[in-house]
Amino acid sequence: MHHYPLRALLAASTLLAALPAHAETVRWSVIASGEKVGFVEADEQGSTVSISYDVKNNGRGPTTTEEIELGADGLPVRWAIDGTSTFGSEVRERFARDGQTVRWTDSTGTQEKGQANTALYIAQNGSPWALGLYARALLKDDDRRMAALPGGELQLEALGETGVGGTTYRAFSISGIDLSPELILLDEQGRLFARIDTDGATVREGAEATVPELTELATRLTDERFAALQKRFAHTLDRPMRIRNVRVFDPKAGKLGDPVSIVVSGERIAGIQPLDAPATPGEIVVDGEGGTILPGLHDMHAHVSPQSALLYLAAGVTSIRDMGNDNAVLDGLMEQIENGTVAGPRIVRNGFLEGRSSYSARNGIIAESEAEAVEAVRWYAARGYWQIKIYNSMNPDWIPAVVREARRLGMGVTGHIPAFTNADAMIAAGYDEVTHINQLMLGWVLDPKEDTRTPLRLTAMRRTADLDLASPRVQQTIEAMATHDIALDPTAVTLELLMLSRDGKPSPAVANYIDHLPIALQRRRRQGIAPIETPADAAAYEGAFVKIKELIMRLHDRGVRLLPGTDDATGLSLHRELQIYGEAGIAPAEVLRLGTLAPEVYMGRDQNLGSVERGKYADFLLLPGNPLEDLRELHRIAMVVKGGTIYFPSEIHAAFGVKPFAEAPVIPELK
């Protein structure tokens, strides 16, 4: 396919005379957690649009330019996107529409389709400007639905008018691009004013002061959506439920028991009874068909939102540890989950504590001095947070004071290894736990002057491919962790995604279920993330991930506590995290203990959670198969019970464009 200069194509286009003259440059500010982190600039000259897009949040973000030619129908005829993605991998995307035929090239390769002139191409690496384009196209369609390329369908839903900063805008949601709808505001000319979210917005330059109003609006619209979904998907019982003919996995013994019946009454497990024990009058009886009952899973590294909260339940994750969030938003979400307004897992909060720098992450609290850091610990302790989580820009010299205050107030300390230090120093300073296995490993390969506030904390992992895990330096750290009971939250699945994703191939992180995902997410998961300039780079990342698995096994053998977490939002990634432990050599029964009971023991909640026993909370999942034989069976969940409320993953996943993994059991009383 030939790629001619776009402006030359425009000069020859006969469409120009038919288009209204229009010349305008519009800028939008990208705001996250109250601070400007990037911009979008669109230079519109008739049918030509030139876009610059740059975001740098937490030391990373996309930098791209776009050249778009619009046809007489307002849809793209040509679209070229160049630059780098969030973590620095190359972006070179092309789209062309000629009559009935469309062709495009993205990270997955080149494709062509005929009879597709009315379908709307969804850019793989498009800026937020594209959302205005999609909205205008959908508004012209009678039912506000259009076929999308590479696949699926876009739908526009009007959410009403809203006043922002003294001006009235129309609010819409656009579904079909990803797991969650995009929320946008259009002005009276139908042009994009803002893309909004619960923690920020991309808003027309000059209107940055309206972002608090916009995030409040996004929060209200999101709350309304997920409250409606909870009414659809939460099945509550007014009488006992007996699930017959199931085998219960006991994480303490590491065994699957003989067929029994599980009886649930209210929010608790009333009993595990012999299979021949008769049901009492009025019970709801469910045929478990010989399936497996597994205690609810636990993700020890989450950053929860209303969407991920529901998706966690669909994946059988009934408890999570939130490792950093907008504190007010998280508190509101927890209240909604606890009162049953929205669906979600049980949540333990960690207090996010960051130092001030140009690379600062904007969750939680940012401290500019040791005194402010210690005061932040007091703030979190007074509000019931479980641990303090340290982040990259924290001054390492402040950690001892933070640890002393945290321990004095009954809290633990975990987190990243701050820039310009290493895990050994932070363990000596009083860490109870290290977050991310790369944070542990980088101390063995980096020069102390290298800055891990940047994407170096990922890219430097290439250096670990040849690391000798038996070396004295590595063994010293492992021994310190084992001796002082320092836990590790590996998040291996996120590193697998970042390091092993390649253009045109399913990422190993999702390869087992990629065909179940919405088309846009499938497309992203066939796109490289880490910058790879040579075959040697690719080989180094692959070797480094082999080393990660070897280290997981060594740590486990030495008795270091592993806390499975994902740093992701789909729930399904926790299944892959556990599979990676199995691939590392940990026995399946032990892997399942790590994902169920072990986190609850660590947090002191195992009297009520972590195993399926009489009197404990009814938090468990029903699997048709046996995960001890194949950990991939974790995807195939037929039913999830959390506190006695029933959820069917097949119902939830369908609402997010995810192809269900297993059929729900037939329970006539719930219809």
**Tens digits of residue pLDDT in 8-21:** 333 434 333 334 45
Say whether both 198 and 301 belong to one domain. no
Q: 557, 591, 607: which is the final residue of a domain?
A: 607
Three-state secondary-structure class, residue 575? helix
pLDDT at 6 over 60: no
Tokens 């993605």 locate to 85
pLDDT at 171 over 80: yes
Question: Residue 262: pLDDT band by 50, 70, 90 thresholds?
Answer: very high
Say whether both 193 and 303 belong to one domain. no
pLDDT at 4 over 80: no
Give residue 128's domain range.
Answer: 24-205
Which pLDDT score, from 0 to 100, does residue 351 have? Answer: 98
0.95 exceeded by the pTM?
no
Q: 205, 232, 263: which is the final residue of a domain?
A: 205
pLDDT at 468 over 80: yes
Which pLDDT score, from 0 to 100, does residue 236 have? Answer: 93
Which pLDDT score, from 0 to 100, does residue 15 have? Answer: 35
Answer whether the bond into residue 345 is a cis peptide, omega within 30°: no
Which pLDDT score, from 0 to 100, does residue 1 have? Answer: 36
Say whether both 427 and 566 belong to one domain. yes
Say whether both 199 and 300 belong to one domain. no
Residue from 320, 316, 314, 315 nearest 334 by CA? 320
Q: Considering the chain, what percentage of its residues have pLDDT values greater than 70?
A: 97
Question: Residue 152: pLDDT band by 50, 70, 90 thresholds?
Answer: confident
Say whether both 49 and 181 belong to one domain. yes
Q: Considering the chain, what percentage of its residues have pLDDT values greater than 90?
A: 83
- The per-residue pLDDT of the chain, averaged, comes to 93
Which pLDDT score, from 0 to 100, does residue 21 have? Answer: 53
pLDDT at 637 over 60: yes
Separation CA 248–CA 256 (nearest Å): 6
Say whether both 454 and 328 belong to one domain. yes
pLDDT at 165 over 80: yes
Tokens 């998907």 locate to 233
Most distant CA pair in the chain: distance in Å?
82
Over 595-658, what HEC string results? HCHHHHHHCCCCCCCCCCCCCCECCEEEECCCCCCCHHHHHCCCEEEECCEEECHHHHHHHCCC
Separation CA 170–CA 455 (nearest Å): 38
**What Cα–Cα distance (Å) separates residue 52 from each residue in 77, 85, 257, 529, 572?**
19, 13, 60, 21, 34
Quote the strand ranges of 1-47, DSSP E: 23-32, 35-45
CB 405 within 8 A of CB 374: yes
Residue-wise pLDDT tens digits, 239-248: 999 999 999 9
Q: Is 658 among the domain residues?
A: no
Question: Residue 392: pLDDT band by 50, 70, 90 thresholds?
Answer: very high
Which pLDDT score, from 0 to 100, does residue 179 have? Answer: 86
At 15, list the tokens: 């469409």
Question: What mean pLDDT is predicted for residues 431-455?
Answer: 95
Q: Is 643 among the domain residues?
A: no
Say whether both 304 and 199 belong to one domain. no
User: Hey, what's the torsion of the CAs at 645, 646, 650, 651, to 10 degrees?
Assistant: -60
Number of domains in the chain: 2
Separation CA 439–CA 585 (nearest Å): 22
Q: Is 308 among the domain residues?
A: yes
* Cα of 251 vs its chain's centroid, Å: 27
Which pLDDT score, from 0 to 100, does residue 520 have? Answer: 82
Helix (H) or strand (E) holding 142: none
Residue-wise pLDDT tens digits, 128-137: 999 999 999 9
Question: What mean pLDDT is predicted for residues 377-400?
Answer: 98
Which pLDDT score, from 0 to 100, does residue 13 have? Answer: 40
Q: How many helices (H) and strands (E) does the chain have?
A: 18, 31
Q: Is 98 among the domain residues?
A: yes
Separation CA 247–CA 258 (nearest Å): 6
Residue-wise pLDDT tens digits, 533-590: 899 999 999 999 999 999 999 999 999 999 999 999 899 999 999 999 999 999 999 9
Which domain CATH number covers 431? 3.20.20.140
Q: Is 392 among the domain residues?
A: yes
Say whether both 173 and 306 belong to one domain. no
Question: What mean pLDDT is predicted for residues 181-188?
Answer: 95
Separation CA 591–CA 562 (nearest Å): 10
Q: Is 462 among the domain residues?
A: yes
**What Cα–Cα distance (Å) separates residue 554 from each residue in 227, 366, 470, 485, 594?**
45, 35, 10, 15, 15
Which pLDDT score, from 0 to 100, does residue 441 have? Answer: 97
Say whether both 547 and 410 belong to one domain. yes
Say whether both 592 and 450 belong to one domain. yes
Say whether both 184 and 320 belong to one domain. no
CB 350 within 8 A of CB 322: yes
Residue-wise pLDDT tens digits, 39-94: 999 999 999 999 999 999 877 899 999 999 999 988 999 999 999 998 888 999 99
Asked whether the CA dihedral 310, 314, 319, 323 is positive or negative, the reply is: negative
pLDDT at 376 over 80: yes
- Side-chain-side CA neighbours of residue 479 (13 Å): 7
Q: Is 63 among the domain residues?
A: yes
Q: 205, 231, 255: which is the final residue of a domain?
A: 205
Q: Is 102 among the domain residues?
A: yes
